[in-house]
Copies of this chain bind each other. A is one copy, B any other.
Amino acid sequence: MRRLIGMASLKRATTLLSNFRRQSTITKSLPQLTKDRYPHIKRGDYATLSQKHLDYFVGLLGRNRVLTDPSDCEMYNVDFIKAVRGYSQCVLKPQTTEEVSNILSFCNQHRLAVCPQGGNTGLVGGSVPVFDEVVLSTSLLNKIISIDDISGVMVCEAGCVLERLDETLGERGLMMPLDLGAKGSCNIGGNVSTNAGGLRLLRYGNLHGSVLGVEAVKANGDVIDCLSTLKKDNTGYHLMHLFIGSEGTLGIVTKVAIHCPSRPTSLNLALLGLHSFEDILRTYSRAKKELSEILSSCEMMDASSLDVVTSHLKLKSPLGEFPFYMVIETSGSNEKHDEEKLNAFLESVMGDGIVADGTVTNEPSKIRLIWDLRERITEGLLHDGYLFKYDISLPIKDFYSLIPKMRERLGSDASRIAGYGHIGDGNIHLNISVPEFRPDVLKKVEPYVYELTSKLKGSVSAEHGVGFRKPPYIHYSKSDNAIGLMKELKNMMDPNGILNPYKVLPSQ
């Protein structure tokens, strides 16, 4: 059963950082300006950047950390998947919390709208300006402040890149509790602000649980210091959660304290081929029970998703063709124990005919190659042309139900309808590709896909957030009372609405 795979001929994938960079050559042309593609969105009543404003910023940060050259600003105006584009003429790069505080206080007084930006890897247009908002980049807030080996608590600035943090922690026998495809570029401040999920949420939980403390700056420049490094702290309201997942609209995260688990010494990865979605459910149930405490990731992809990386990125799959695949990772502290558990599990699911074929490895290079088949789908999809991307949570039994429904509805209008994601977390990524943006296809997909999700009591945004692209749809997942309370919160914390406007909350 342990079919050691002939992957020696496959060349080792480069890091995801370079994947993310490389993709910028795929879509050569810039997208239409957001203001033109979405003409019904009107610019708010904010000030327009003037020389007086720039003089203040240069006085505060110096010339080198105030970008105004249009070519310098361009990459900050366009999102990763080239779906939205602002026309900000000013990018600020503070290096301290105090600078962030001064910037916001000034912008608040002068009614200048601000778009906070981390690694700019968001998929819902939340991290780039919609119009001419000043971009506040956290990229130079990039220091690790402390790591406590015994408690596993790390404190760092918001602009630290996730992968770099994980590497540094690795030297101490620790690891980041989250991992996602964009790790080579995304910033921890952005992760926290968007409540990023990723591949290991199944094992290590979400950021509301892992983050111990946050320092954030409110719209008026007030620094809210909730940078506790303690695992338990019940002194008053738990304010830091206001900044987790509010996508920079209630404050800008400047520092983060996070609990980092011990790094496992034993790692195994299995790629499985299955005949039906029902078999995926059965396999997940069995994995939860039989792999239990060593299960660290449980992912699925359909044939159309795997085809993206084999066709476009020329990756080779070690398995034959199946309608469904799963990637199951175990990690633990005892190689022999983990191998015994995994082998017993694989023997049982294959013996019972639930899994049709499989391959398993503990060699780092081969682990990387299998992960690439799953992690590089997002990148590969960009080669298809224009993408309608949906990031949906559903009750697990309905996890895959949208895909056949969309295929039936769209027929030949779509060049691909692919479903893949985090089966262990009930989170599927539905991608519909077309050669070029087509409004008639959009009309067939939306709001249908949201209505369906709502009917199944799912979430119209599982982990990507709301950003610019989804505010009109959050009522499919949230009640009027809840949205009303969100608006009250926004008004209380940012009465002038300068922080990341046009994002998250629906307009009146």
Contacts and interface: CB of A to CB of B under 8 A. Distances in A.
Interface of A: 148, 150-152, 173, 194-195, 197, 201, 205-206, 208-210, 218, 222-226, 228-239, 241-242, 244-246, 250, 262, 264, 281, 284-285, 288-294, 331-334, 337, 340-341, 393-397, 422, 425-427, 457-466, 470, 474, 477-479, 481-486, 488-489, 492-493, 504-505
5 contacts: A230-B462, A233-B477, A236-B486, A289-B333, A293-B331
Contacts of A464: 234
Chain B CB within 10 Å, residue with most, of A208, A218, A236, A505: A236
B284 A482 contact: no
A464 B197 CA distance: 30
Given A289-B262, A395-B151, A232 B486 contact: no
A322 B464 CA distance: 53
B238 A208 contact: yes
A206 to B, nearest CB: 6
Residue of A230, A334, A427 contacting most chain B CB atoms (<10 Å): A230
B228 A396 contact: no
A205 B209 CA distance: 6
Contacts of A486: 236-237, 239
A249 to B, nearest CB: 8
Number of copies: 2
A414 to B, nearest CB: 25
A435 to B, nearest CB: 30
Given A229-B457, A294-B293, A426-B151, A262 B234 contact: no
A483 B393 CA distance: 35
A394 B331 CA distance: 30
Contacts of A341: 333-334, 337
A31 B273 CA distance: 67
Contact of A232 (B218, B222, B393): B393
A144 to B, nearest CB: 18
Contacts of A228: 459, 477
Contact of A504 (B194, B236, B504): B236
Given A208-B241, A233-B462, 15 more contacts: A197-B232, A206-B231, A209-B210, A218-B485, A222-B484, A224-B485, A230-B395, A231-B425, A233-B393, A234-B465, A236-B478, A236-B505, A237-B485, A238-B244, A239-B485
Nearest to A205: B209
A281 to B, nearest CB: 7
A329 to B, nearest CB: 13
A395 B284 CA distance: 39
A231 B288 CA distance: 15
Best-buried of A292, A426, A484, A492 by chain B (most CB within 10 Å): A292
